[in-house]
Amino acid sequence: MSSVVENAAAYVAAQQDTAAQLPGYGLAELDAGRAAALEQLSRQGLPSQQDEDWKYTSTRSITRAAFKPASAGATCPSDFITQSVIEGLNPYRMVFVDGFLSAALSDLEALPTHVRLRSLAQVLSEDATSVLPKLGQMLGDPPHGFAAMNSAFVADGAVVEIEAHQHLERPIELLFVSGCGDEGLVSMPRTLVLMGEGSQATIIERHCSLKEVRSLNNSLVEIDLGKGAVLDYCSLQSQSDRSFHVGGLFAGLAESATLRATTVSTSGALVRNDARINLNGENSTVHLDGCYLVFGRSHVDNHTHISHNRADCVSRETYKGVLGDRGRAVFHGRIVVKQDAQKTDSEQSNQNLLLSEEAEIDTKPQLEIYADDVKCAHGATVGQLDDLALFYLVSRGVKRETARRMLTQAFAADVLDRVESVPLRQYLQSLAFDRLSNA
């Protein structure tokens, strides 16, 4: 490799040192994929504010920190898992410690035979040919250096396969615990969700921290929904305020498939989420929702990109943010309607509530429409708590702080209220409640 962008040099070198130990090394297709991603990382480096898509999000604290790739073998006490379960959810659970599966902490008891939950490391070492064609397919060209880095190091994560026409009753929880090993590690889990025609499932991707150590979680999820498949998906980031999170959600939907995804960010020093949804089949539907609660000095950036590639698809996107203290947030919602995508029905909204003078939001909707028969609506708002509503509540005797909290919660609630699974919804609501009460 001729020249390597400086901010990626250490990662490139680390990959070259360890590539031979990565699972599935030697498989031509996999090696080529990793090499291409490494080449991109070398050439582009990690993003900086010169990149249009990172204009409002500085990666300097990430690049300065010089994270070292985490390795398998870190441990997490089982108490921590027991204490952080979502009450009543009763999921099939895979636990990842600094990005690597911990079979001991996972619970796949009574998993039906038509569902396979395996670690990517296992799949790559034993059965790579079955999933290799899918790995990277929904991602396409990595949109930035972090995604390229994840692909160059791709080693472990979850592989979820649901057979055609199977309805999974219990949800699947993918619990990613970071901050288990030393200070300054980067974990890079890669998850693949492959749902057959007409299948249905609920999946929760949850990121939390064991210790308050500086860490980077560079997580990437690819979802392939077959014809008519229905997936309820939730991604939750509630890591420590010393952790950085760069997450990707890349989904492709076949004809008549439905994805309902909700991304919730409640803490972390910096959270950047890229969601890229391709509506590849006619009549497919995506509901892409987000809720970000940004306090202290946190920074949350949601970049979404929904592409209507075929006719008669529906997209509904609602992102809501509550910002206090010196919190900063970015929302960039791109909707692309391709020439063939007639009868597209698309709505996007981004609403923000600013609770302090120092909080700041940059919001940018971006519509690109190349078809002529479409219905597209979008809107963004930034506001403060409504004084009159506040007065109405206190005039009934509600204490001012309580009234503020009630209004703030009400603002954030509608996104969470739409979450299908009752235990998950209640968990998210109480998480938001706590976050806003302590704000």
Partner 1 sequence: MLKISDLRVAVDGKTILNGLSLEVGTGEVHAIMGPNGSGKSTLANVVAGRDGYEVLGGTVEFKGKDLLDLDPEVRAHEGVFLAFQYPVEIPGVANIALLKEGLNAARRYRGEPELDALDFLKLVREKIKLVEMKEEFLYRSVNEGFSGGEKKRNEIFQMAMLEPSLSLLDETDSGLDIDALKIVAGGVNSLRSQDRSVILVTHYQRLLDYIVPDYVHVLAEGRIVQSGDKDLALKLEAEGYGWIEESAGAAA
In angstroms, what is the minimal distance from the CB of 406 to partner 1? 5
Cα three-residue angle 20-22-28, rounded to 5 degrees: 70
CB 16 → partner 1: shortest distance, Å?
53
The one-letter amino acid at 314: V
* Closer residue to partner 1 in complex, CB, 72/394: 394
Interior angle at CA 434, CA 431 and CA 439, nearest 5: 125
Rank residues 363 and 408 by Cβ distance to partner 1 and give the closer one: 408
Min separation Cβ 412 and partner 1, Å: 9
Helices 28-44, 145-152: crossing angle, 10 deg rounding: 150
Report the nearest approach of partner 1 to the CB of residue 379 (Å): 16
Per the DSSP assignment, residues forming a β-bridge with 343 are none
Q: Give CA–CA dist 109/431, Å, rounded.
A: 27
Nearest to 161 by CA among 207, 129, 130, 205: 130
Shortest CB 355 distance to partner 1, Å: 16
Q: Which residues bind partner 1 (CB under 8 A)?
A: 387-389, 391-400, 402-403, 406-407, 409-411, 413-414
* Cβ atoms of residues 114 and 166 within 8 Å: yes
Nearer to partner 1, 370 or 391 (CB): 391
**Comparison of 164 and 390: residue with beta carbon closer to partner 1:** 390
Contact (CB, 8 A) for 109 and 167? no
Q: Is 12 helix (H, G, I), strand (E, B) or coil?
A: helix
DSSP H helices in 69-173: 78-83, 120-126, 128-131, 145-152
Indicate the residue among 153 and 411 with the shorter CB distance to partner 1.
411
CB of 430 to partner 1, least distance (A): 15
Q: Residue 344 is encoded by which pair of tokens?
A: 């597209």
Neighbouring CB atoms inside 10 A of 243's CB total: 24
Q: Which of 152, 412 has the CB closer to partner 1?
A: 412
